[in-house]
Chain A
Amino acid sequence: MAMADALPNDGVMRAADGTPLKVALARAERREKFKAMALVLPLFAFIIFSFVLPILLMLYNAVYDPDVAENMPQTVVALKAWDGKDVPSEEVFAAFVADMKEAQKNKQTALIGKRLNYEMSGIRSKVVATGRKVATVEQPPYRDAVIAIDKVWGEPDTWATIKRSSSDYTPFYILSMLDLRQSPDGSIENVPSDRAIYKSILVRTLGISLLVTMLTLVLGYPVAYLLATSPQKTASILMIFVLLPFWTSLLVRTTAWMVLMTDGGVFAGLMHFTGITWFLNLVGLLNGEPELFKTRFATIVAMTHIQLPFTLLPIYSVMKTISPNYMRAAKSLGGTPFYSFWRIYVPQTLPGVAAGCLLTFILCLGYYITPAIVGGPTDQMISGFIERAINSENNWGKASALGVILLTATLILYYVYNKLVGIDRMKLG
């Protein structure tokens, strides 16, 4: 009773310790929230530090480009006053000579040459050669002496290129991956068509992904339909045919296709046996035995095989929820089987179709292993070019710019997928 006397009698509901119930509830909820966040924090921190941060730092290389600014500091300052019209003044050349002597001492001329070569092909060897000879230039006039070493230094375009790459940040890599470039006057233009190769890689990646997505839909939809409408026993046996490939590693399935598609291998034998080879020869699509290995055909077949379960399973899980009564109702109202199927059944499966196709399309965009093994040089997709930019060309700017384009496309689709399906409702297996 003593406790009750101590409390003000104002009609507010109170907890046992006298705090208003509202405050106590808010406090308890806040505590719960912190507890929940503490549970998520370890994984969140881990993903940020071991995954998100490394990727962001890597993609930063697409625009961060300090090679020229770091190794030609005096030239960069001197070029600021240059109007870009004529060969630069004597001061610029004096700075250039000093920078090149320093770069030669630090063995950085190859790096400068490599960077400038991205924008002016053929200049690499000239920069390196100039670096070797620049020690002989000891007194003014520097301009004539440097132009005497190589007449490329007498061209305003060379200096415009240096000036353009002298900032720590450059749009060069991303522009060039879209087959665009900055002209010497700073405007953006298309590169000459003989050097425009990257847009075709993007188009190829999108084209292969789209074709594979459509093939998986055409092949997967009837299978999903039969799986969803068959009796439980039959369905679970048929399901093994879908799930076993799903659980077999991508590398193993690609290996299988490589083995089957070797010249004179099982696939060619099957084509011969079924008369397809004979037929294709007859209509003139083929001359002799087929050569399948390292072709676009092999790439598409293998990718379709690998992605088929990813398209099929979301469609199946939506079809499972569709009551057969709708179709019965449609037919009893006089719809023909085809009309009822098309107008009543198919629209109800569209969420599954969207989920499956989007997932397959997203995954296809990033394919690297399969085209690398069963595809030829003209079947490589963006991922293959990223790998090559790093392992063969050591060009991080290019790899990162391609990465930015690939990641942007993926994340836009991921966003759509998340809005449409909800990532936490993704079904596995």
Chain B
Amino acid sequence: MAVPAYFTRGETVMYYAVRVFVALVLLFLIAPILAVMPLSFNSESFFTYPMPGFSLKWYDDFFFNPRWSGAVKMSFLVAIATTIVATALGTLAALGLSRANFPAKATIMAILISPMIVPVIISAVGMFKFYASMDLVGTRLGIILAHTALATPFVVITVTATLSSFDKTLMRAGASCGAPPYTVFFKVVMPLILPGMISGALFAFVTSFDEVVVVLFLASPEDRTLPLQMFSGIREMISPTITAAATVLVLISTAMLVTLELLRRRSERLRGVAPI
């Protein structure tokens, strides 16, 4: 990383200063996440280095204590249901919105995206009161409905972005060959916008899987999701199992990130455009 020969002394100093500064910022970004992971293998229940010994007991607690494993199951159930409903609704809406001359497009788009912008505490409190009047508080259905509302904006945004580079004459070509609309969608449109749909679905999954404020109001105490279990764990009694849970969640997000990156590369290779 030698500087070009024509650099003045000031430029050389700036060149290295910027790089050192950026290195420190990147360290600031990644270090807290990495620093927590080794602590989850600590044999003692406090959070300091050097660790007195190595132990897997917090992972044992995480995977086999029904309080935690039940929460993991609950989280997956809610997140998968949310992903399916949000992807279906969001993709349909994005298909409609991407048609030419859609009336009041900007306003409708702003309303559909609003769950992403409205502070989540307001959404949570509003849904709590409304769902309570329909006996949905404390049920899984209530949480799934709420999470679907929060997750659809991500699907709408990613699929709309993919559709903006989609060649619409392909749909006409399909129709002119005699295919009914649903055949055109499943045989022509969907294979091409699939990367956008999948990244939207991933965002929807993560939104639901990580969400804690709405669950705080809507979940029953016996039926907690993983983030809620972590949050109440932090507030009631800090056990290092939380660091084990955090480590597992970081691994899951890493897997998501890798999937998304592979999708992006694939679609770049296929069509020369990125889905997001």
A: residues with CB less than 8 A from B are 29, 32-33, 35-44, 46-48, 50-59, 219-220, 222-223, 225-226, 238, 240-245, 247-253, 255-260, 262, 264-266, 269, 305, 308-309, 337-338, 362, 365-366, 368-369, 373, 383, 386-387, 390, 396, 399, 403, 406-407, 410-411, 414, 418, 423-424, 426-429
Q: Are A366 and B120 in touch, CB under 8 angstroms?
A: yes
Do B48 and A43 touch across chains, with their CB atoms under 8 A apart? no
Contact B129 A247 (CB under 8 A): no
- Considering only CB atoms, which chain A residue lies closest to B264 in the complex? A429
Given that A244-B30, A249-B210, A249-B249 are known contacts, is A365 also in contact with B11, CB under 8 Å in the complex?
no
Complex alpha-carbon distance, A55 and B118, angstroms: 10
Contact at A225–B18, with CB atoms within 8 Å? yes
Identify which of B52-60, B62-70, B227-235 touches chain A: B227-235
Task: Given A40-B93, A226-B19, A255-B234, verify A262-B113 contact (CB < 8 Å).
Answer: no
Interface of B is mostly: helix
Question: Which of B39, B131, B160 contacts A259, CB < 8 Å?
Answer: B39
The reply to whether B110 and A423 contact each other, CB–CB distance below 8 Å, is yes
Q: CB distance A256 to B35 under 8 Å?
A: yes
**Inter-chain contact B21/A222, CB cutoff 8 Å:** yes
Partner of B10 from the list A240, A250, A337 (CB cut-off 8 Å) is: A337
A52 to chain B: which residues have CB within 8 Å?
111, 114
Known: A242-B29, A424-B160. A255 touches B242 (CB 8 A): yes
A46 / chain B contacts, CB cutoff of 8 Å? 89, 148-149, 152
Evaluate contact between B49 and A266: CB separation under 8 angstroms. yes
Q: Is B83 an interface residue (CB 8 A)?
A: no
Query: For chains A and B in complex, what number of residue pairs have CB atoms within 8 angstroms?
Result: 268
Q: Which of B91-106 contact A (CB under 8 A)?
A: 92-93, 95-97, 99-103, 106
Interface residues on B, range: 35 or more
- Identify A44's interface contact among B112, B118, B203, B231, CB under 8 A: B112
Interface residues of B in 123-159 (CB under 8 A from A): 123, 125-131, 145-146, 148-149, 152, 154, 156-158
The answer for the CA separation of A40 and B156 in the assembled complex, in Å, is: 10
Which chain B residues lie closer than 8 Å to A362 at the CB level? 117
With contacts A50-B145, A428-B157 taken as known, whether A32 is within 8 angstroms of B10 at the C-beta atoms is no
Tell whether, in the assembled complex, residue B127 and residue A54 are in contact, meaning their CB atoms are under 8 Å apart. yes
Quick check: B29 and A366 within 8 Å, CB to CB?
no
Q: Cβ of B22 < 8 Å from any Cβ of A? A: yes
Kindly identify which residue among A43, A309, A365 contacts B90, using a CB–CB cutoff of 8 Å: A43
Report 24 cross-chain contacts, Cβ distance below 8 Å, ordered by A residue.
A32-B101, A39-B92, A43-B92, A43-B112, A43-B156, A44-B112, A50-B149, A54-B129, A55-B127, A57-B129, A220-B25, A223-B25, A226-B22, A242-B29, A248-B249, A251-B230, A256-B33, A260-B36, A338-B10, A366-B122, A368-B213, A403-B121, A403-B122, A414-B117
Please give the residue numbers on chain B whose beta carbons come within 8 Å of chain A beta carbons, in ascending order.
Answer: 8, 10-11, 14, 18-19, 21-22, 25-26, 28-30, 32-33, 35-36, 39, 47-49, 89-90, 92-93, 95-97, 99-103, 106, 108-115, 117-123, 125-131, 145-146, 148-149, 152, 154, 156-158, 160-161, 199, 203, 206, 209-210, 212-213, 216, 227, 230-231, 234-235, 242-243, 246, 249-250, 253-254, 256-257, 260, 276
Contact A223:B22 (CB < 8 A) given known A36-B99, A50-B149, A429-B199 = yes
Q: Of B130, B157, B235, B253, which contacts A57 at CB under 8 A?
A: B130
B181 to chain A, nearest CB (A): 8
Measured in the bound complex, the distance between the Cα atoms of B118 and A410 in whole Å is 7
Contact partner of A264 (CB less than 8 A), chosen from B39, B48, B121, is B48
| B256 neighbours in A (Cβ, 8 Å) | 247
Q: How far is the CB of A371 from chain B (nearest CB, A)?
A: 11
Query: What CA separation (Å) do A135 and B109 show in the bound complex?
Result: 60
Q: Which applies to chain A's interface (DSSP): helix, strand, loop or mixed? A: helix
Q: A33-B102, A219-B25, A429-B260 are in contact. Are A256 and B213 (CB under 8 A)?
A: no
Kindly list chain B residues whose C-beta atoms are within 8 Å of the C-beta of A426. Answer: 113, 157
Pick from B21, B119, B250: contact of A410, CB under 8 Å: B119
- Docked-complex contact B126 and A54, CB < 8 angstroms: yes
Given A44-B111, A46-B89, A305-B32, A259-B243 contact (CB < 8 Å): yes
A55 touches B122 (CB 8 A): yes
Given contacts A50-B146, A424-B109, 19 further A-B contacts (CB under 8 A): A32-B99, A32-B100, A36-B99, A40-B102, A51-B127, A55-B118, A55-B123, A55-B126, A222-B22, A242-B26, A244-B33, A244-B250, A251-B212, A308-B29, A373-B231, A390-B125, A396-B129, A403-B122, A423-B110
On whether the beta carbons of A269 and B32 are closer than 8 Å, the reply is no
Cross-interface CB contact of A251 among B30, B130, B231, cutoff 8 Å: B231
Q: Which of B109, B112, B126, B246 has the most CB of A within 10 A?
A: B126
Instruction: Report the separation of the CA atoms of residues A309 and B257 in the bound assembly, to the nearest whole angstrom.
Output: 14
